[in-house]
Structure 1
Amino acid sequence: MKSPLSSYNPADFETVKQVALSFPETEESVSHEGTPSVKVRGKLMCRLHETGSFIPIRLSFEIRDQYLDSHPELFHLPEHFKNYPYICMWVHHYDIQLLKQVLTLSWRELATKKAIKAYDQAGNK
């Protein structure tokens, strides 16, 4: 039987990982089914889904719904994720500026107030 990641290309998560790791308190990790991920203080921020076709990114329900409505070509919500604060971004269909925007929002939900304040004071708002 073929592994779900057998067609996975490590480059598919590389840009997402590099942007996510640019925030304070982030660390590279391994998550479900051995997939690459980034965590903030031990909490999952984003990862490559085991199918290799999309990237779940932690976002509040309200913000998630806004992005699902405004960018349905980039984001989707599989049934399994509906009850969790995540949005799913297609691996090959995203804009780098939008990616940075979504990951910034995700990071702000998981980072400490001290880290957010220092980040903002450094001019990174």
Structure 2
Amino acid sequence: MKSYLPAYNPAHFEIVKQIALSFPETEESVSHEGTPSVKVRGKLMCRLHETGSFIPIRLNFKLRDQYLDSHPELFHLPDHFKNYPYLCMWVHSYDTKLLKQVLTLSWRGLATKKAIKAFEQTSNQL
């Protein structure tokens, strides 16, 4: 009998997950190949890729291309993702400030206008 061992370490997604779950309307989930993920209203925001080497983060094509150009050492785009609105971040090369920035943009692309407005009002009061 063959046992299934994941090719990834869920701990590599922990910081990303904590930041992503700080936004309204987000929920922890499980995606492709049983990998940990975060969704916004049922739509995939980010997940740990089943290889364990990177994290696809949903981002529109224009923003994706800007980050690929400005931070090629942190982000990449495998052939499989070229036709999809995702930016792929290497698991061990992000900094928290940049990660928060990218996840905020990702969340804004998936959240309701009401949630975005409430979040902005709360953030401005801090």
Q: TM-score, normalised by structure 1?
A: 0.94
Determine the structure 1 residue equivalent to 2:100: 100
Determine the structure 2 residue equivalent to 1:11: 11
Determine the structure 2 residue equivalent to 1:51: 51
Please report how far the alpha carbon of residue 4 of structure 1 lies from its aligned counterpart in structure 2 after TM superposition: 7.6
> CA-to-partner distance for each residue in 1:63-88, whole Å, 9 max, x for gaps?
00000000000000000000000000
> CA-to-partner distance for each residue in 1:65-116, whole Å, 9 max, x for gaps?
0000000000000000000000000000000000000000000000000000
Q: Aligned AA for 1:56?
A: P
CA contact (8 A) 1:35 1:49 kept: yes
Helix, strand or coil at the partner of 1:123: helix
CA contact (8 A) 1:45 1:57 kept: yes
CA contact (8 A) 1:28 1:37 kept: yes
Please report how far the alpha carbon of residue 2 of structure 1 lies from its aligned counterpart in structure 2 after TM superposition: 8.9
Q: Aligned AA for 2:25?
A: E
1:28 aligns with 2:8: no
Determine the structure 1 residue equivalent to 2:74: 74
Question: Which sections of structure 1, spanning at least 5 residues, go unmatched?
Answer: none
Helix, strand or coil at the partner of 2:51: coil
Q: Distance in 2 between matches of 1:17 and 1:63?
A: 21
The list of structure 1 runs, each at least 4 consecutive aligned residues, that deviate by more than 3 angstroms after superposition, is 1-4
Identity percentage over the alignment? 82
CA contact (8 A) 2:38 2:46 kept: yes
Q: Distance in 1 between matches of 2:105 and 2:29?
A: 20
Question: Which sections of structure 2, spanning at least 5 residues, go unmatched?
Answer: none
Q: TM-score, normalised by structure 2?
A: 0.93
Q: Distance in 1 between matches of 2:50 and 2:5?
A: 6
**In the superposition, relative to structure 1, how do residues 3 and 79 fare at CA in structure 2: closer, same or farther (>3 Å)?**
farther
CA contact (8 A) 1:38 1:45 kept: yes
Please report how far the alpha carbon of residue 11 of structure 1 lies from its aligned counterpart in structure 2 after TM superposition: 1.5
Count of matched residue positions in the alignment of Structure 1 and Structure 2: 124
